[in-house]
Amino acid sequence: MPRIAGHLLVECLIEQGVTHAFGVPGESYLAVLDGLHDHADRIRFVTCRQEGGAAFMAEAHGKLTGRPGVCFVTRGPGATNASIGVHTAFQDSTPMVLFVGDVASDARDREAFQEVDFAAFFGPSTRGFAKRVERIDDARRIPEYVARAFCAAMNGRPGPVVLVLPEDMLTQTVDTAPLPRVEPVQAWSDPGALRDLRTLLLAAERPLVIAGGGGWTPQSAAALQRFAENWQLPVANAFRFQDTFDNHHAQYAGDVGLGINPALAKRVRESDLLIAIGPRLGESTTGGYTLIEAPVPKQKLVHIHASPEELGRVYQPTLAIQASMNAAARSLEVLTAPPQLPWSGWTAACHADYLANIDPANNGVRLPGPIDMPAIVHALQRLLPEDAVLTNGAGNFASWLHRFYRYPGLVRGHKTQLAPTNGAMGYGVPAGIGAAIATGRLAFTISGDGDFLMNGQELATAVQHGARSIVLLLDNGSYGTIRMHQEREYPARVSGSSLANPDFCALARAYGYAAERVEATAEFEPALQRALAHAGGTVIVVPLDAEVITTRGTLSAIREAALKR
């Protein structure tokens, strides 16, 4: 049946199972918005306040569902604003498709209004941050391009794809049908490589699994757990993939990332066999490439990843296995273990290190001020529902969750952590709102003052679309992480990192959220209970002494150590 191309594009998205599209409307894709109007019962268009927030919501949707999150933006400033979400999807290995309305074909290459060379801007290349960037000039090929974008976003290492839509192309009349829904291809482990892995395990004394990256499902997480139990292996989760393996499990060793437990860092270095299942082993997970030395690790390294391009790209592994996470975990769970294993004490000690790290009594430092952050996280652990989605942006404030919160793990049926491995500030608020809109589950966000102000306007999006999130806003009047680095490198010379903040409670109420200010630890739990009982969203503001800069120490201690150097 003939219809305009913008409507055909929407029909293609419906065929791919898309239920939500996040975006900021633009004149360059009015034909698509008109198609969304006709199919509002099939696809919900979530109108956002800024393209960066929209892209973060789409990225969060991709993390939660395993299928590409969809974002629509207009050309030029719209696309460049959205690029932060594309970069997050790239470094986090999240499937995502960004549609960019573009200048009309007859104005191209004239530096028309808001014109950008999107292929040059987004990549793709070894240094780009999109898997594919394509422009649809022929409306009859929309089904082909959309299907290919979904395939590329999900297959191998998941990631973002950018499709550019010339304004005039979207108004062409076409008589073309959508292509069928595409599914990701499963890359299975080589049987010979599995035999080699078993040989390496049998020769090991101190093995350690590091799990993470994109592509995990509850089923693959359950298979990973069975593999770990069969072989009695300690399992650590990669940076900001802390829900890959159940944190309550007796073989859990902690998270390998920024602010790593020093005892776990020592275990990684002492391990004689590292089995990395899924993570790309980036800078944060490897402690700046020191826990695992590049290019040839001191430990024997088995690297299992869905993309062949990641295998050997930074590290030369002892054994490289290309496999998707579902296939890899299912292959590993049937790998036969011997009746006796020599490392049971090692595994128990790794878990004991983790338990000691989350015990505030072992901190060794009395952090100043009336707020006890470990106690606040403990309250969250007791009161939040098990399927709550916890989100954060970038900043030292996130370390309170990372260290003290015990994520239930995908094995229990839900992804519960949304956090940007690329260190994007402003991610937590829109990611939580996107998660609440897409799943109906409670979203809890921890944010810093600087982080919140980058995308706090998306609270208006939450209210408009009936989403419910709870935001814990830690206000220390500074870009705290940068201040920490300043004290370490240029002690007592504060420059550019101080903030003069608004009344956050008044701001939240202006957007339609409830708001509370908590100035003592004992006040937090009642405030959280009121937020949980409230039908809408709530912002809980907690003023935090700037001295409380990490979970382990103070600004003064960092400054004093730097001055002694």
SS3 content of the chain, % helix, strand, coil (to 5): 40, 15, 40
Strands (E) in 334-437, as ranges, are 389-392, 417-418
- Taking the C-alpha atoms of residue 382 and residue 12, their distance in angstroms, rounded to an integer, is 43
Q: Please spell the DSSP secondary structure of 373-435, one letter per residue.
A: HHHHHHHHHHHS-TTPEEEE-SSGGGHHHHHH-----GGGT---EE--TT--TT-HHHHHHHH
Neighbours of 434 (CB within 10 A): 37
Report pLDDT for 123.
82
Residues of the chain with CATH 3.40.50.1220: 191-356
Of 448, 464, 450, which Cα lies nearest the Cα of 512?
A: 464
Whole-structure pTM value: 0.96
Report pLDDT for 126.
53
Report pLDDT for 127.
66
- Taking the C-alpha atoms of residue 234 and residue 351, their distance in angstroms, rounded to an integer, is 7
- Taking the C-alpha atoms of residue 282 and residue 238, their distance in angstroms, rounded to an integer, is 9
Residue where the block lists tokens 């490897």: 286
CATH of 191-356, one of 3.20.20.70, 3.40.50.720, 1.10.150.120, 3.40.50.1220: 3.40.50.1220
Beta carbons within 8 Å of 564's beta carbon, 6+ residues apart: none
Report pLDDT for 103.
86
CATH number 3.40.50.300 given to 360-563 = no
CATH number 3.40.50.970 given to 3-172 = yes
Dihedral (C-alpha) 77, 80, 84, 85: value to the nearest 10 degrees?
A: 80
Single-letter residue type at 397: F
- Taking the C-alpha atoms of residue 71 and residue 213, their distance in angstroms, rounded to an integer, is 22
Of 492, 487, 484, 499, which Cα lies nearest the Cα of 549?
A: 484
To which H or E segment does residue 32 belong?
Answer: helix 30-38
The tokens of 190 are what?
């080589």
**Digitized pLDDT (tens) for each residue of the chain, 565 residues in all:** 899 999 999 999 999 999 999 999 999 999 999 999 999 999 999 999 999 999 999 999 999 999 999 999 999 999 999 999 999 999 999 999 999 999 888 888 888 787 788 888 888 755 678 999 999 999 999 999 999 999 999 999 999 999 999 999 999 999 999 999 999 999 999 999 999 999 999 999 999 999 999 999 999 999 999 999 999 999 999 999 999 999 999 999 999 999 999 999 999 999 999 999 999 999 999 999 999 999 999 999 999 999 999 999 999 999 999 999 999 999 999 999 999 999 999 999 999 999 999 998 887 677 889 999 999 999 999 999 999 999 999 999 999 999 999 999 999 999 999 999 999 999 999 999 999 999 999 999 999 999 999 999 999 999 999 999 999 999 999 999 999 999 999 999 999 999 999 999 999 999 999 999 999 999 999 999 999 999 999 999 999 999 999 999 899 999 999 998 8
Residues of the chain with CATH 3.40.50.970: 3-172, 360-563
Single-letter residue type at 445: T
- Taking the C-alpha atoms of residue 6 and residue 29, their distance in angstroms, rounded to an integer, is 8
Please tell me the total number of residues recorded for the chain in this structure: 565
Strands (E) in 400-487, as ranges, are 417-418, 443-448, 469-475
Of 80, 95, 153, 82, which Cα lies nearest the Cα of 426?
A: 82
- Taking the C-alpha atoms of residue 427 and residue 46, their distance in angstroms, rounded to an integer, is 17
